[in-house]
A and B are shown apart, each in its own frame.
Chain A
């Protein structure tokens, strides 16, 4: 199994510590969403991973080998501040980039045609990049990252500024790449999208990874809660371990502590039914947005890795 490993990266800009002990893995075939507030260190990590920035310490490895020039050529990279020749035509530009990555002229042209079609910009091949709309420029930028058929994808904010159709197109492309065994690392602020698309998520705060795992794994909490649409929540007193978190109209949120037995839900449902008709009884899990808010707003904890950037 191929793995892109980011290990203990450190980076300072002058007195500002941008990364401290940034560590995570992206496996082949998985889509890894990288979330965190602005300035948390997502772009810095990605720039180090693709080699346009050097780390002060730490390593980036691919299948256990440090990422060197030969591996770097196999990465498809989409920088946050887009990078294309503004006055060069879309088609020529993509063919040129493909050829620099070692494709011969015919293969480069085929690849350019394939990706411009997939991304819906085949009409724009003869246009200069600066004449395109921002959304289309972004599609060209993604095509530039894909045109040499990379083994690793590192995409910084690929979805920002895209319309819903373009988001779907791009999501499909990322899934397709992952299904071919390519590890896909991308950053985004669109958390619903990340939740929907990613196999695993990393939440970064102040230069360190504070939560990483599968979406379900992250949503797994010690406390369990249910939404009950039914009688007023006075029935809860029948179940001693349960407490009412909130109640509005016919809907109540009821939670139990970590020590509650696994089948406590059945007990709760029976108690609710005894009090009146129940129309909805559903387990409530925190959304990624809630997790994210919780993580990024948690102030400095005793753990040294999580303290705020000092400068």
Chain B
């Protein structure tokens, strides 16, 4: 009693130390470092690949016009715009000079005359983009000269044609989902699944590691079971959060660097922040359940069987989420399941990425989860405290919850 030094430490300090050990230990473990690198690399390489594909967007077509054909310049650019091809025109001094530029590759096409026929010279072929522009242009010019022959005003007719379009009324408007959103939806779904799955399993293995090595008997002589469990869950949660922030940040960085989302309605910032928030919520729920279940067994070999129902519970929303949501974001199954607490962390991030959800829906789903967390804390704390010192065979969840024959010595 007279010995100095060893003093009662506060719960906060105990939990910080336990969480700190988890963080230090995992951060320096090869497994963690390599999974993080692999995930970051997958996201960055995926982004780069998508960027290269998107960059095949055709460069402006260079079209030379001789002086006879110069009048068609505006119409040419307008037609190109209508079919989605950017066209830059330049007047050439002579046909010969223009031909030289076509041969050298500086010009994609040379328009030598517009009447009686549109005459275009190219190096080899007009190509798909060229055909797409010059075909309609030739038709317009032919139509224009016919209108002129009939005494009409080609410009007025052209304006009427341009403004004519059908009036379409959509009875069940589908949300606009573009490619970038679909990719983001997939990434959100897969990323949340992988990180919740790995972090959750780390918690379960960590609990059993302490049980099987009996170090828990030394630890519980000085800290209380709930402090040990809280420290472990928070520490591994912090590690998981570091990992997912690294992956999300590198994904966002890649997307911005390659301009992947410039033309998209994808709200990258909102999607990224919510993915991280949903990881935190999902982790809290699953980690507590997994810690409680893992405390029921004493050997690493038994972890798999005791946590498999929960792993199954994680796979269901994941499969449903990524197989249905990107193609049918308003599917009633997706919508309803995304409000079910253990499913929301997988489904909501996908719906957010697809921009197929209202903010109040997200907040409601998050609120439902947060309301459940105190219940889970109570449940996990009770099961863990009653079961963690019980060595030997697997104990029944019911017994651990009741605290009947377990060894409950240090729970007070």
Contact = CB atoms under 8 A, between A and B. Distances in A.
Given A102-B6, A144-B218, A88 B407 contact: no
A283 interface: no
A87 B215 CA distance: 12
Given A82-B214, A83-B213, A107-B5, A101 B222 contact: yes
B6 A83 contact: no
Contact of B214 (A54, A72, A83, A97): A83
Contact of A83 (B1, B8, B217): B217
B389 interface: yes
Contacts of B1: 2, 63, 74, 151
B223 interface: yes
A86 B409 contact: no
A84 B224 CA distance: 17
Interface in B208-260: 209-210, 213-224
Interface in A32-85: 47-48, 50-54, 63, 68-70, 72-75, 77, 79, 81-85
A100 interface: yes
A69, A99, A144: most-surrounded residue (chain B CB, <10 A): A69
B17 A84 contact: no
Given A51-B410, A75-B221, A77-B221, A102 B214 contact: no
Contacts of B391: 81
B409 A51 contact: yes
A82 B215 CA distance: 8
Given A100-B17, A100-B222, A53 B407 contact: yes
Given A51-B410, A52-B389, A79-B214, A151 B3 contact: yes
A74 B214 contact: no
A84 B210 CA distance: 8
- Main DSSP-derived SS at the B contact region: loop
B311 interface: no
B408 interface: yes
Nearest to B14: A100
Contact of B219 (A51, A100, A149): A100
Given A54-B407, A83-B215, A85-B209, A102 B223 contact: no
Nearest to A180: B3
Interface residues of B, number: 33
Nearest to B218: A83
Nearest to B220: A52
A102 B9 contact: yes
B396 to A, nearest CB: 14
A52 B3 contact: no
B412 interface: yes
Given A77-B218, A85-B209, 6 more contacts: A47-B217, A73-B8, A84-B218, A101-B6, A103-B6, A107-B5
Interface of A: 2, 47-48, 50-54, 63, 68-70, 72-75, 77, 79, 81-88, 96-97, 99-103, 107, 111, 144, 148-151
10 contacts: A2-B1, A52-B407, A69-B224, A79-B214, A97-B222, A100-B219, A102-B5, A102-B6, A102-B8, A107-B5
Interface of B: 1, 3, 5-9, 14, 17-18, 21, 25, 209-210, 213-224, 389, 391, 407-410, 412
